[in-house]
Amino acid sequence: MANILKGRLSYHDARDVLAATVDIVIFAVATAGTYYAQIWDRPRSAVLVYIVGVTIIGARSGLARGLSAAITASVVYNFFLSEPIFRFSASSADEFIPLIAFNVCAILSGALAGRLKDSVKLARAAEARNAHLLRLSDELQRAIRISDVLRIARASLPFQRVLDLDIYLMRDGTLFPADDDSASVDPAALLAGEPPVSIAGAEARICALNGSAGRIGFVRFVLGEGPAPGSDMPDLQGIANILGLAADRCLLLERLSESHALQKSEELKTAILSSVSHDLRTPLTAIEAAATSLRSFDDSLSAKDRASMLATISAQCRKLNRYTANLLDMGRIQAGIPTFMFIEVDVGEILGVVLASVRESYPGQELEKQITVDSAIVRANPAMLEQVIFNLVENAILHGASSRPIFLVLTRVGETCLLEIVDFGPGITAEEQPLVFNKFYRSRATAHRDGNGLGLHIANGFTEAFGGRISIVSPHFEGRGTKIVVELPLVQAAHGHVGAWE
Amino acid sequence: MDGMKILLVDDEQAIVTALTPVLQSQGYRIVTADSAAAALQAAEQAQFDLILLDLGLPDADGIDIIGKLKQLTEAVIIILSARHQETEKVRALDEGADDYVNKPFGIEELLARLRAAVRRLRTPAGVLQEKFVSEELVVDFALREVRLMGEEMKLSPKEFALLEVLCRHAGQVVTHRKLLIAGWNDPHADGQYLRSYVALLRQKLEYDVAEPQLILTEPGVGYRLVALPIQP
C-alpha cells in the first residue's frame, strides 16, 4: 500500500489491490442482499446470502481473507441486521448458528481454495522441472563424448537453485573429472567436498551417476540460495539419472571405437605376419634349395643346371630385396613423408631409369613408350618416384597378358603431368578397383602369381605425398586391359624459357 | 690389378667374408676394418689405393670420417649405401667420397666401380689427359672435338664442358654440384639448366633419349657416363 501512496505501482501490487477491491465489492453486495432480505422479512434467505458471499470470498482469496470476511459478516449481521438491532446477542440458536455457519463456511472454502492454489503452484513447478529435464535429455541425445555431456549440461544452467555442476567418472577404480583425465579425485574427499568458495552461500550436493552396469561416477551440483529455503529445489537425482544415461552411452561409444581401432591394428599385424612369412619364406626356400643342391651335387650337375640354380639364387635375392624395400616404404608412408625430401625431378628422366631396371629384371618383356613432352618437372623424391613407376610397371607385367607389350605414355595436360601404364591383361573388376591400393591386397584372380600386395599401396601412398593421384581405367580396350594413370602437378616454369640455348 | 690395396670398412662379417675372396681373386689386396676407429687407425698405418666404406658403422656415421680419411690418404673412397639415402650419398660425395654402390649390389657392379676408380688412379696427378677414347665415343679435350661412332658431333661450349667432366670421371657418378660448377661455375645455379643441357647432350649422343645408355641418371645425385675408355 505504501507503493500506491508513493505512486509507484508494481504489477503484483496492482493485482493484489484489484483482488481486495473485488472482495470488498462482493462483501458489500452480500451485505446489501442480506439487508434487503431482512427488510422483506426473509431471515433464512438473509443468512444464506451472507454465507454465499463469505464462501465466495474464502474460495477466491484463501483462508485468511475468508475468515476476516466471516468475522466481519458475523459482527455486521448480529449487530445491524438481526433483531435486536444495534446490540450484539447470542442468546438463541437463531442468533449464534448463523455466526458459526459464516465462519465454518469461510474456513472450509478458504482451506480448500488454499490447497487448490498450492497444488496448482506445485503442478506448475513440476511442469517446469519436467520441461527442463526433457529439454536436457533431448539435447544430451546429441552427445557422443563425455565432454559433450558436460558442455550441454552446463549450458542448461542456471536452473532453479542449480548454478553449476561437475561430472566425475570412475575409470579403473579411480575417479577423474570428466573434463580432465590427468587429475584424479579421491571419492571420499569428493563426497565430503566443499563447494567452490567463489560462490557465496553456495552448497554442494553429490548424486550418483548410474550406467547400465552399475555406478559410473558422481555428479556434483553447486546450489545457490533459492527464493525460500526448501522451495524450488530441482530434482537433482532426476538430472543425475539423465546425465548418467548419456555418460554411459558416451563411454560405451568410446570403448567401441577403441576396440574397433584395436581390431584394425590386430588385422594389420596379422596381415603383415602372414605376408612376411609367405613372401620371405618362398624366396628363402628357393635359395636354400638351390644353394644346398649346388653344394651336395656339384659334381653330378650339368653346367646348364648349375647356371640355372645360380640364376635362381640371384633372382630370388632381388625379389627379397624388393620385398624388404616395400615393407620399409610401407612404414615410411605410415609415418608420413616430410616434404623437405622433395626436389624438382624430371618424370621423363626417372622413367628412363625405371625402364633400364625393368629390362634387367624382365628381359623378355616388350615395352612400348610414347613420350610427348621434352620435360615434365614435378616436386618429388627421386627414389620414391622411381619406386612408384617401377611398382606400376611391374604390376602391369605381372597382371598383364604376357604376349602383349606394356604401353607407357608420358604427356601433359595443362599444369598436370600424366603417366599412363597400359596392359592387356584380364583387367580389374569394378568391385576390386577401390581395393587394389589397400595394404596386402591381392586380386583373387592372380593371387598365385608373384607380388606381395604392397606395390600399388606404395605407389599410391608416394603419389599422394607428391600431391598427385593414381586412377584406374579398366577395362579400357575391348573389354580387357588396365590403364593406370598417374597424375602429378607440374612445377611452374619459374625459370623463363628453358629452351633459350646459347 | 697390380696389387691395388683396398681398405674394406664394414662391420657386417658376412659381407666381409663374401667380398674378400672375390676381390683377392681379382688381384686386389684387402685389409678389413669393422669400425670407424679401426678404419682411421689402418689409414694412419698404411697407404691404401681404395677405400670401400659402409655408412652404417657401430661407432660413428661413415660420412663423418670421410674428411679425416681424406687427410690421411689419397685413396679413392667408394661408399656402400642403402637405397633411398640420396641425401646421405650427396653429403658423402660432397665430403670427398668419389662414388657409391647401392646395397645390395651385384659383384659386377662393385667391380665396375672399382675399375673406374683404378683408371682414375692410373692417371698421373696434375696431368690432364688430352683425349677420352672409348668404343663408341671419342672426345678430344684440346681440340674440343667429339666423335660418336666416328661421326663428328657439334656441341655448344656448355654441352662440351659437361661432357668433359663426365668423360674425365667415366664410370663414376658426377654430382649435380660438380656439373653445375663445370658448366656455370656456380654450385647453386638452377638445376633446371643442368637438366636441359643434359637433355640436349642426350639428344646428340643417345640412340633413344627416353632410355639413355651412355649418360645415365643417378636419381637425386647426378649423372654417370658408362662408356669405358679403351686403355691406351
Which sequence spans correspond to the domains of chain A?
Answer: 2-122, 142-254, 258-332, 336-489
Is residue B231 in a domain? no
B 88-127: CB under 8 A from A:
104, 106
* Inter-chain CB proximity B192 and A377 less than 8 Å: yes
Cα torsion for A22, A25, A27, A33, to the nearest 10°? -140
Q: Is the pLDDT of residue A486 over 70?
A: yes
The residues, any chain, with a CB within 8 Å of residue A363's CB and separated by 6 or more, are none
Residue-level pLDDT at A430? 84
For chain A, give the mean pLDDT. Answer: 81
* Inter-chain CB proximity A345 and B200 less than 8 Å: no
Closest Cα of chain B to A358: distance in Å? 11
Cβ-based contacts under 8 A for chains A and B: 67
CATH number for the domain harbouring residue B42: 3.40.50.2300
Closest Cα of chain B to A175: distance in Å? 49
Are B105 and B74 found together in one domain?
Answer: yes
CA angle A282, A286, A288 (to 5 degrees): 115
Are B15 and B80 found together in one domain?
Answer: yes
ipTM of the complex: 0.87
- Interchain contact A321–B (C-beta under 8 A): yes
Report residue A130's pLDDT band, with 50, 70 and 90 as the boundaries.
confident
Q: Is the pLDDT of residue A494 over 50?
A: no
Q: Which amino acid is at A431?
A: E
Please tell me which residue, A197 or B95, carries the higher pLDDT value.
B95
Report residue A10's pLDDT band, with 50, 70 and 90 as the boundaries.
low
Q: What is the CATH number of domain A142-254?
A: 3.30.450
Are B117 and B136 found together in one domain?
Answer: no
Most confident region among A45-49, A173-177, B31-35 by mean pLDDT? B31-35
> Cis peptide leading into B232, omega within 30 of 0?
no
From B102, B122, B142, give the residue that closes a domain.
B122
The topology (CATH level 3) of A258-332 is: Helix Hairpins (1.10.287)
Are B202 and B95 found together in one domain?
Answer: no
- Rounded CA gap, B224 and B208, in Å? 16
Closest Cα of chain A to B85: distance in Å? 9
pLDDT in tens, chain B (232 residues): 468 999 999 998 888 998 999 999 999 999 999 999 999 999 999 999 999 999 888 888 888 899 999 999 889 999 998 766 778 888 999 999 999 998 888 888 899 999 988 888 877 666 677 888 888 899 999 899 999 998 999 999 999 999 999 999 999 999 999 999 999 999 888 888 899 999 999 999 999 999 999 999 999 899 999 987 776 5
Best residue in B101, B195, B223 for a mutation probing chain A (most A CBs within 10 Å): B195
Q: What is the CATH number of domain A336-489?
A: 3.30.565.10
Is A364 buried (19+), middle (13-18) or exposed (0-12) by CB count in 10 A? exposed
Average pLDDT estimate for A190-194: 60
Cβ–Cβ < 8 Å for A381, A341: yes
Are B101 and B20 found together in one domain?
Answer: yes
- Interchain contact B154–A (C-beta under 8 A): no
Is residue B203 in a domain? yes
The CA radius of gyration of chain B, in Å to the nearest whole number, is 18
Cβ–Cβ < 8 Å for B187, B179: no
Report residue A54's pLDDT band, with 50, 70 and 90 as the boundaries.
confident
Which residue from B83, B156, B220 is facing A502, i.e. has the nearest CB? B156
- Interchain contact A116–B (C-beta under 8 A): no
Cβ–Cβ < 8 Å for A78, A70: no
- Rounded CA gap, B67 and B6, in Å? 18
Kindly report which listed range (A197-201, A293-297, B53-57) carries the lowest average pLDDT score. Answer: A197-201
Residue-level pLDDT at A5? 45
CATH number for the domain harbouring residue B211: 1.10.10.10
Among positive and negative, which fits the CA dihedral A230, A233, A236, A238?
positive
Is residue B80 in a domain? yes
Are B38 and B95 found together in one domain?
Answer: yes
- Rounded CA gap, A136 and B136, in Å? 87
Are B135 and B202 found together in one domain?
Answer: yes
Angstrom CA distances, B161 to A68, A399, B147, B180, stand at 124, 45, 15, 10
C-alpha cell at A59: 474460495
Report residue A468's pLDDT band, with 50, 70 and 90 as the boundaries.
very high
Closest Cα of chain A to B46: distance in Å? 36
Are B160 and B213 found together in one domain?
Answer: yes
From B122, B156, B173, give the residue that closes a domain.
B122
Are B111 and B162 found together in one domain?
Answer: no
* Inter-chain CB proximity B211 and A356 less than 8 Å: yes
Are B75 and B15 found together in one domain?
Answer: yes
Most confident region among A4-8, A94-98, A163-167, A424-428 by mean pLDDT? A424-428
Split into its structural domains, chain B has a count of 2
Report residue A482's pLDDT band, with 50, 70 and 90 as the boundaries.
very high
Provide the domain limits for residue B194.
131-225
- Residue B175: its chain A contacts at CB < 8 A? none
CA angle A386, A387, A392 (to 5 degrees): 105
* Inter-chain CB proximity A495 and B193 less than 8 Å: yes
Are B162 and B115 found together in one domain?
Answer: no
Specify which residues B61 forms β-bridges with. B56
Q: Tell me the per-residue pLDDT of A96-125, one tens digit each, with 9 for 90 and over.
A: 787 788 778 877 887 888 788 778 888 887
- Report strand pairing: A482-489 vs A416-423: antiparallel
Is residue B230 in a domain? no
Average pLDDT estimate for A180-184: 64
Cβ–Cβ < 8 Å for A47, A77: yes
Are B20 and B100 found together in one domain?
Answer: yes
From B122, B157, B175, give the residue that closes a domain.
B122
Is residue B84 in a domain? yes
